[in-house]
Chain A
Amino acid sequence: MRIAIIDTSTTRAAIISDGLREAGLDDLVLIDPAGALARQIEAAQPEVVLINLENPSRDLLEDYFAMSRALARPIAMFVDQSDAEATGAAIDAGVSAYVVDGLSKQRIKPVIDLAVRRFQAFSRLQRELDEAKNALAERAVIDKAKAILMKRRQVDEPAAYALLRGQAMRTNRRIAEIAEAIVTSEALLGDME
């Protein structure tokens, strides 16, 4: 069963194709998102097409499928109403799948399930990455705020941190927010004395 993958994220496309290969589905075609879409699909003759929901080429792709209805094996988003649940789960995960008419549900389902799990895993990774990036950025701001307090209040580092933490607890805000406020006001008012 040939599966085509169209994804604006090449990393995610790689993650999905790895997963499919591990599951023994190794007839894969990675579509170049920068190339001519219809021509690549036509050449690949896939039976299943996986595309990320936010891909800007989805309207073009659906139009191509509608136009190729005259072909022997038309491709549609899903074959019958009973697939609605699987399609809903896929949409929730951020992937949409198109399959050729007549392909049995038992063969499609594992592909869709796998794509959904891989998309979810990718989102989780991305979220973790964002969180790690944020944490790093917050650490840098807190360090800067501590340095400002140490200089202005003539205190050592633990005392500066205690000041930050105390203010955060009193005002029910995060330490990073207090630190950010200090850094901002230093930038605006730092030269006034």
Chain B
Amino acid sequence: MTAEIFRIGFLPLVDAALPILAHELGFAEREGIRVELVRDMTWATVRDRLLYGHTDAAHMIAPLAIATTLGRDRPPVPLGVPFVLGLNGNAVTFSSALAAEVGLSDGLGDPADTGAALRAVAGARKAAGKPLRFGVVHRYSSHNYMLRYWLAGVGIRPDEDVEIVVTSPPFAADALAAGEVDGICVGEPWNSIAVDRGVGHIALATAQIWRRGVEKVLAMRETILDERREAVEAFVRALHAAAAHFVEPGSAEASADILARPEYLDAPRDAVLRAITDRIRVAPGGTPLHYPDFMFQYREAANFPWRSQAAWLYSQMVRWDYMAFDAAQAAAAGHVFRPDVYRRALAGSTAPLPGASSKLEGGLDEPIGAGSTQGRLTLGSDRFFDGRAFDPDDIEAYLAESP
């Protein structure tokens, strides 16, 4: 059998781990797939290579897959997501000056308390004509939406009380150091690198804003998803196997060795290792603390593309692009996530398969057994920091009640 080639675009981030490991550790080969990884520095280029056939699939920020499908800023091209590459794994990092002003502690603070202190500083800075400025990795990123959700939830109006600009992850630490931004919301290892360089102080992990927030996805053109379905399913199995390996005790060191290499993240191994073992050095010189919710790459069926996650992202797109809710667009956004493909790929394996394709997001306080058609599935608390829950069937009401 000749191997089917999948060219995968990615950005140098810790959560590009699964396609990289599927390639390096032979999980893809075992499924008859040959992976070729294409590294880029901007999401715009990752997206363009995907749309114009330089790549077959991409490691992508989930909201960008939805924005591309809906044709925000450009003619629409339908994308499909058969697999979620991970939940959370990002952080909000303040410049040393802002950290001191807000009075950050040496631990991960409480989002409401930190937010209240930030609100006072933001108000003073706005009154002084020099509003706080935050960098996020892309307009259509979970980072942008998580940061805005938190700010709005503590009474800081994004776009009015503070400025939010785009800063590419590899340059985020430089932007903090140069004073171009007062805070960043980016993925790892770039927060840790800012801390290690002594220019930043981690204020929050994004998991503290939404404990089970969808992060990067495997996105591809819908035509590829349809025309190469068998190969796509084989690749989903390979990624799932890589995910199981990634969280195995004792695998982290070897994974960090691979990810840190120049052709992948080209980043310090220790910062990569800390991220994948959920250990966060909050302040320069501090001892890393263990925050087990930091990133989810496998457990709790983290890779399952819940349509309700896509719906939440759409709700935030409506909110922050200041556009009207549209039922057809909401349906199209939900359809980007393809639980049907995920199920077919993993049917007959030991992977737990949820019975539903959509759920109430942010409704769980305690781990709970969830309905599954295969295997046993337990879902952990998925709370938003403000305790609100998101019903994907009533986006309009949710938006009406959003601050």
B74 near A76: Cβ-Cβ < 8 Å:
yes
A58 near B45: Cβ-Cβ < 8 Å:
yes
A-contacting residues, B182-233, CB 8 Å: none
B contact face: mostly helix, strand, loop, or mixed: loop
Q: Closest approach, in angstroms, between the C-beta of B294 and any C-beta of chain A?
A: 25
Q: Does A96 contact B (CB under 8 A)?
A: yes
Chain B window 63-78, contacts with chain A (Cβ cutoff 8 Å), 1 for yes, 0 for no: 0000000000111000
Which one of B44, B52, B137, B165 lies within 8 Å of A62 (CB-CB)? B44
- Cβ–Cβ < 8 Å partners of A76 in chain B: 73-74
The segment from A49-57, A120-128, A148-156 that touches chain B is A49-57
Assembly CA distance A76 to B41 (angstroms): 20
- Closest A residue to B167 using CB positions: A60
The segment from A9-17, A18-26, A86-94 that touches chain B is A86-94
Q: Does A193 contact B (CB under 8 A)?
A: no
Q: Closest approach, in angstroms, between the C-beta of B15 and any C-beta of chain A?
A: 17
- Cβ–Cβ < 8 Å partners of A61 in chain B: 44
Assembly CA distance A172 to B52 (angstroms): 38
Q: Does B171 contact A (CB under 8 A)?
A: yes
- Closest B residue to A88 using CB positions: B52
A92 near B52: Cβ-Cβ < 8 Å:
yes
- Closest B residue to A62 using CB positions: B44
A78 near B168: Cβ-Cβ < 8 Å:
no
Task: Knowing A59-B43, A59-B44, A80-B75 are in contact, say whether A91-B166 is a contact too (CB < 8 A).
Answer: no
Assembly CA distance A55 to B41 (angstroms): 8
Q: Does A159 contact B (CB under 8 A)?
A: no
- Closest A residue to B166 using CB positions: A63
Chain A window 75-111, contacts with chain B (Cβ cutoff 8 Å), 1 for yes, 0 for no: 0111011001001100110001000000000000000
Task: Knowing A63-B139, A87-B52, A92-B52 are in contact, say whether A58-B44 is a contact too (CB < 8 A).
Answer: yes
Q: Does B42 contact A (CB under 8 A)?
A: yes
Q: Closest approach, in angstroms, between the C-beta of B77 and any C-beta of chain A?
A: 9
Q: Closest approach, in angstroms, between the C-beta of B250 and any C-beta of chain A?
A: 36
- Cβ–Cβ < 8 Å partners of A137 in chain B: none
Assembly CA distance A65 to B137 (angstroms): 16
Which one of B42, B48, B52, B138 lies within 8 Å of A56 (CB-CB)? B42
Q: Does B110 contact A (CB under 8 A)?
A: no
Assembly CA distance A112 to B329 (angstroms): 33
- Cβ–Cβ < 8 Å partners of A60 in chain B: 165-168
Chain B window 129-142, contacts with chain A (Cβ cutoff 8 Å), 1 for yes, 0 for no: 00000000111000
Task: Knowing A62-B44, A84-B75, A96-B48 are in contact, say whether A56-B168 is a contact too (CB < 8 A).
Answer: yes
- Cβ–Cβ < 8 Å partners of B53 in chain A: 88
Chain A window 133-154, contacts with chain B (Cβ cutoff 8 Å), 1 for yes, 0 for no: 0000000000000000000000
Q: Closest approach, in angstroms, between the C-beta of B208 and any C-beta of chain A?
A: 26
Q: Does A66 contact B (CB under 8 A)?
A: yes
Q: Does B376 contact A (CB under 8 A)?
A: no
Assembly CA distance A119 to B15 (angstroms): 33
A54 near B41: Cβ-Cβ < 8 Å:
yes
Q: Does B54 contact A (CB under 8 A)?
A: yes
Q: Does B40 contact A (CB under 8 A)?
A: yes
Chain B window 288-304, contacts with chain A (Cβ cutoff 8 Å), 1 for yes, 0 for no: 00000000000000000
- Closest B residue to A59 using CB positions: B42
A66 near B170: Cβ-Cβ < 8 Å:
no
Q: Closest approach, in angstroms, between the C-beta of A145 and any C-beta of chain B?
A: 29
Interface residues of B (CB under 8 A from A): 40-45, 48-49, 52-54, 73-75, 137-139, 165-168, 170-171
* Shortest beta-carbon contacts, A-B, top 7: A63-B166, A58-B44, A58-B42, A56-B41, A91-B52, A59-B42, A81-B75
CB-defined A-B contacts under 8 Å, sample of 22? A53-B45, A56-B168, A58-B45, A59-B42, A60-B165, A60-B166, A61-B44, A62-B44, A62-B139, A63-B139, A65-B73, A76-B73, A76-B74, A77-B73, A78-B75, A80-B75, A81-B75, A91-B52, A91-B54, A92-B54, A96-B44, A96-B48
